Amino acid sequence: MMRRLILLLLILPALGGCAGSQSAFMPRGAEAERIDTLFWVMTIGGGIIFVGVIAITAVAMLGGARVRRALSSEPFINGAGIAFPSVVLTVLLVYGLLILGAGARTPPAGDGLRIAVSGELWWWRVTYTDAEGNTFDTANELHLPVGEPVAVELTSADVIHSFWAPNLAGKLDMIPGRTNTLTLTATQPGVTRGQCAEYCGGAHAFMSFHVVAQPREEFDAWMRQEAGPAVPPASEAAERGAALFLSAGCGACHAVRGTEATGTIGPDLTHIGARRSIGAGMLPNDAAAMRQWIVDNQHIKPENKMPAYEIFTEAELDDLSAYLEGLK
């Protein structure tokens, strides 16, 4: 009894990993639904074959001489050992290619929307281009219209990464100097989570992102808001934070559209206050987390390219965090 209880306690955490906002077992995209179907077909089919093999093995070990002769006969070996696996594997191959749509071309977005994601050490640069050719950058958050196939262009600025949003689709490598295209079709609104699935260095495990699937009206409103310049500081503290942001040189690495900050080394911060997290999923997005990231980011996410800024006073940190939190 105790052994069964211990086994159950070991299994429960593993089962917990099969649910939630980052699970291939809870598909919220057309591609993920096909992968889920293929997985269960192969798992159930493989389980049935496994049980059959075990049964035949038991019969061969425990059966009489007549049964053993039948199992060792040439017709049985040719049928069960050659013909059966050949037919099953061929059927599964064809079925897998058909259900996953191998070789199918991705239809272009009807409104001319283009999305490009670049993997960087250790965050995600997301670039949107609308039908008029207007372009803007955001970071660590991918927004999609529900029910519409969107081709996402994937590349890398440094090493090999792998883009994986398991609730929406399979993973696809991001290779420097090459662009791979992944089709994402969100089937229901909501927020899911993705992760880099290829070891890319020290902070690889801390390189995640959110995918926000929205009805078309909400997505269009988000696009208009995100494409615009930063909102002006709404308080005296935020005004001091904006001035400090520029005087401390933060704009050399980060861009805040509509200001003198035009850096491209780090994430675009124009609307950072509207994102769900900072540090590529490392911290919640609020003023306290902003302060923590500014002074202690190397402890939170070791080896990231931003140095820890321990030069600011408590009052200056309050002003900076107020400014950044207000960039919505």
What would the pLDDT profile of 145-166 be if each residue is shown by its tens digit? 999 999 999 999 999 999 999 9
DSSP string, 244-305: HHHHTTGGGT-B-TTSS-B--SS---TTGGGSSEETTTTEESSHHHHHHHHHHHHHHSTT-S
Say how many domains are in the chain: 3
Nearest-10 Cα torsion for 273, 275, 281, 283:
30
Say what the pTM is.
0.85
Q: Is there a domain that residue 105 lies in? A: no
What digits encode the pLDDT tens for the residues 96-152? 888 877 666 666 566 778 999 999 999 999 999 988 888 999 999 999 999 999 999
Instruction: Assess contact for 143 and 219: CB atoms under 8 A.
Output: yes
Please compute the mean of the pLDDT values over residues 257-282 and round it to a whole number: 94
7: in domain: no
First to last CA, the chain: 56
Residue that finishes a domain, picked among 56, 75, 99: 99
Are 129 and 182 in the same domain? Answer: yes
Which domain-ending residue is among 71, 99, 127? 99
Q: Is residue 13 part of a domain?
A: no
Q: Higher pLDDT residue, 123 or 72?
A: 123
Q: Which residues contact 276 (CB under 8 A, 6 or more apart)?
A: 141, 191, 210, 212, 284, 285
Domain of 252, in residue numbers: 236-325
The answer as to whether 208 is a domain residue is yes
Residue 312 lies in a domain: yes
Residue 212: inside a domain, yes or no?
yes
**pLDDT > 60? residue 10:** no
Task: Indicate whether 220 belongs to any domain.
Answer: yes
Residue with tokens 């262009």: 153
d(Cα 56, Cα 70) in Å, to the nearest integer? 11
What element of type H or E holds 317?
Answer: helix 314-325
